Amino acid sequence: YVTPEPRPINDFVLIDHQGQERRFSSLRGQPALVFFGFTHCPDICPPTLLRLRALHDAQDVVALAQNSG
């Protein structure tokens, strides 16, 4: 489900890919996508995670283009 309008959420802390605590509030002012998926669900999660990976990769391409010119 995608909400039609952004919703405010309370601050929270998760562990990032480098094992460091990361507060959601540290992303303030930047686009943020919060997704909770599972790595072992056969039907929905793998294709969804692939789409998110494609989104992330596309974002990297845009950032490289902006920084090179």
Give the Cα separation of 46 and 37 in Å (integer).
Answer: 9
- How does pLDDT run across 16-48, given as a tens digit for each residue? 889 999 998 998 888 777 777 676 777 777 787
Question: Which residue type sits at 56?
Answer: H
Does the model's pTM come out above 0.85?
A: no
Mean pLDDT of the chain, nearest integer: 79
How many whole angstroms separate alpha carbon 56 and alpha carbon 50? 10
Are the C-beta atoms of 56 and 48 separated by less than 8 Å? Answer: no
Residue percentage of the chain with pLDDT more than 70? 78
The whole-angstrom separation of Cα 46 and Cα 24 is 25
CB 37 within 8 A of CB 49: yes
Q: What is the pLDDT of residue 22?
A: 92
